[in-house]
């Protein structure tokens, strides 16, 4: 382990429960996200960073480290929250030194990517929670950059601007992001996965909440009367293309994802994610969802199904076309460090997509984490160390 302090930081952050909530109407969605924000603000201050700006209302943390005033400031952004999909409470990170493929949780036959990590040191959970590498690996790597800058004040570098955001996992990470406070006109989100991956294309994204209204009567008297909302919901789902689900798609292929379903005979709620890199196909997917709702209403009566379809974010690829120097520079620095660059589309989204649409171009950098949003999540220590080195290289003049 070359950078023990980096790994200790990550483990410390991972143990803080910062899970966001889609059910909340507040911002941030959970007050516990402030716990990590306060910790990071304190650590930055202890390092000697003078410009630490903690938004106590909305849980954003901004910081700045001066560099050459003749050069444009460069920003680095990561999010503090973890996914609502799996519990983030009581996370117990464990280090698998010299991983041999025989771990009780991480098995190459189930996750083939693990075969590439044989002999590396991995950080995983005890199997009861997610790990939080998404995106506390990025947070730790940015904090490592801040520490490096403070320990090496004579290095010639750009002014560094840092931001840590809440609620990225529920699509609200930039709702109250203050670009003027951030004070950089370009940057990177540090929120990717496999070492070498560099991303400036992402999904167009929408959520779709489908409410099904049924009619509950005694099953003994149900003939021609009962409308079982759960079964109607299953019928609606069957109207969507079965091959266009996350488990059957890759690369630029979009999907419909039934993320959650809850209901009884009397009523049901289905929560979908709609994704596609192509904007026209994205719009068609939303139309397909609405047509499925219309079909159900034509069959069972108007008002049986109701759809609330909401756009979440859009593909930043078109806007990034005039800022490709950020990509070229990252590729150059990766090659210098012996990292093989891989420019790939994000099968998801980042805060950077929204910020790019607001005039702050932000492609996405790798962190060394894998299997996000689940109890099989892990991070490679060797890849995290390289990702941390990459940020230091990018900060240089």
Q: Which strand ranges, in their side-by-side order, compose the sheet holding 267-276?
A: 255-263, 267-276, 204-213, 305-313
From the candidates 55, 121, 141, 168, which is the catalytic residue?
A: 168
Which one of the listed residues 81, 186, 191, 377 is annotated catalytic?
81
Tokens of 311: 């756009």
**Encoding tokens for residue 283?**
């719009």
Q: How far apart are CA 133 and CA 302, in angstroms?
A: 45
For residues 162 and 188, give the distance between their C-alpha atoms in angstroms, rounded to a whole number.
10
Could you tell me the two tokens for 354?
A: 């929204």
Active site residue 260: no
* Contact in structure between 168 and 27 (CB atoms under 8 Å): no
Q: Environment class of residue 321 by beta-carbon count within 10 Å: exposed (0-12), middle (13-18) or buried (19+)? A: exposed
**Which one-letter DSSP state was computed for residue 157?**
B
**Catalytic residue at 100?**
no
Q: Which two tokens mark 193? A: 């996965």
**If DSSP states are collapsed to H, E and C, what string results for 331-376?**
HHHHHHCCCCCEECCCCCCCHHHHHHHCCCCCCEECCCEECCCCCC
SS3 category, 346 = coil
Distance separating the N- and C-terminal Cα atoms of the chain:
28
Q: What tokens appear for 228 in the block?
A: 């079982």
**The tokens of 23 are what?**
């059910």
Residue 228 CA to residue 8 CA, distance in Å, equals: 52
Active site residues: 81, 168
């Amino acid at each position: 382990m070359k950078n023990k302090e980096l790994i200790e930081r990550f483990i410390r952050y991972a143990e803080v429960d910062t899970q966001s909530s889609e059910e909340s109407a507040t911002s941030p969605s959970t007050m516990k996200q402030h716990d990590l924000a306060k910790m990071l603000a304190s650590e930055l201050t202890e390092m000697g960073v003078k410009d630490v700006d903690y938004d106590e209302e909305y849980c954003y943390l901004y910081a700045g480290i001066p560099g050459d005033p003749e050069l444009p400031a460069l920003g680095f952004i990561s999010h503090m929250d973890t996914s609502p999909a799996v519990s983030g409470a009581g996370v117990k990170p464990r280090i698998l030194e010299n991983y041999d493929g025989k771990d009780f949780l991480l098995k190459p036959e189930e996750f083939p990517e693990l075969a590439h990590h044989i002999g590396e040191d991995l950080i995983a959970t005890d199997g009861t929670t997610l790990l939080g590498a998404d995106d506390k690996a990025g947070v730790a790597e940015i904090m490592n950059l801040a520490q490096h800058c403070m320990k090496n004040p004579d290095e010639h570098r750009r002014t560094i601007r840092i931001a840590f955001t809440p609620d990225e996992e529920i699509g609200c990470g930039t709702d109250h992001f203050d670009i003027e406070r951030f004070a950089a006109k370009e940057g990177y989100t540090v929120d990717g996965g496999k070492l070498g991956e560099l991303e400036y294309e992402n999904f167009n994204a929408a959520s779709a909440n489908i409410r099904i209204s049924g009619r509950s009567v005694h099953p003994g008297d149900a003939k021609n009367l009962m409308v079982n909302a759960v079964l109607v919901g299953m019928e609606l789902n069957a109207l969507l293309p079965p091959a266009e689900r996350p488990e059957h798609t890759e690369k630029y292929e979009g999907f419909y994802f039934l993320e959650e379903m809850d209901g009884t005979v009397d009523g049901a709620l289905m929560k979908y994610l709609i994704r596609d890199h192509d904007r026209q196909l994205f719009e068609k997917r939303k139309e397909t969802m609405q047509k499925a709702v219309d079909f159900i209403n034509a069959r069972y009566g108007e008002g049986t199904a109701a759809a609330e379809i909401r756009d979440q974010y859009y593909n930043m690829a078109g806007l990034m076309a005039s800022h490709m120097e950020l990509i070229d520079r990252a590729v150059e620095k990766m090659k210098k460090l012996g990292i093989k660059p891989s420019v790939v589309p994000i099968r998801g989204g980042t805060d950077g997509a929204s910020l790019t649409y607001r005039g702050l171009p932000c492609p996405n950098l790798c962190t060394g984490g894998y299997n996000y949003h689940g109890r099989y999540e892990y991070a490679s220590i060797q890849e995290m160390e390289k990702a941390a080195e990459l940020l230091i290289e990018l900060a240089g003049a």
